[in-house]
Amino acid sequence: MEKQLFDWKEWSEVDVLVQQFYNCVLKQRIGAYPIGTYFDWIVVDYEKGTIQLCPYKHQENWRTFKLNLTIGEEVNEQTTNENTNATSGS
């Protein structure tokens, strides 16, 4: 899911359902932040359903947003298998 929202250079697992990403650039607008905005850190907490953005390496600058899940189009199993095989070289 995070691949749809931003790119990053590194990441670490804070907890099973919490991941912290470093050197991030938005691919989607979040709040008032447009596509292309850089953040030192982004923390995604799947348990709480939140995403935290930190433009500078200082905790007081965190901005927290509700992380909502939407369901997209149905995935055709045959198409999924073809894409997987093409990617893996099979």
Across residues 73-83, what is the average pLDDT? 72
Which residues, 6 or more positions from 53, have their beta carbon under 8 angstroms from its beta carbon?
A: 30, 31, 33, 39, 41, 42, 62, 63, 64, 65
Closest to 41 measured CA to CA, from 79, 14, 11: 11
Give the model confidence (pLDDT) of 4-50 as tens digits: 999 999 999 999 999 999 999 999 999 999 999 999 999 999 999 99
Which residues, 6 or more positions from 36, have their beta carbon under 8 angstroms from its beta carbon?
A: 25, 26
In this model, does residue 61 exceed pLDDT 80?
A: no
Residues 45/18, Cβ–Cβ less than 8 Å: yes
Number of domains in the chain: 1
Q: What's residue 82's pLDDT?
A: 61
User: By residue range, what is the domain housing residue 47?
Assistant: 2-88
pLDDT tier at 56 (50, 70, 90 boundaries)?
confident
Three-state DSSP class for residue 60: helix
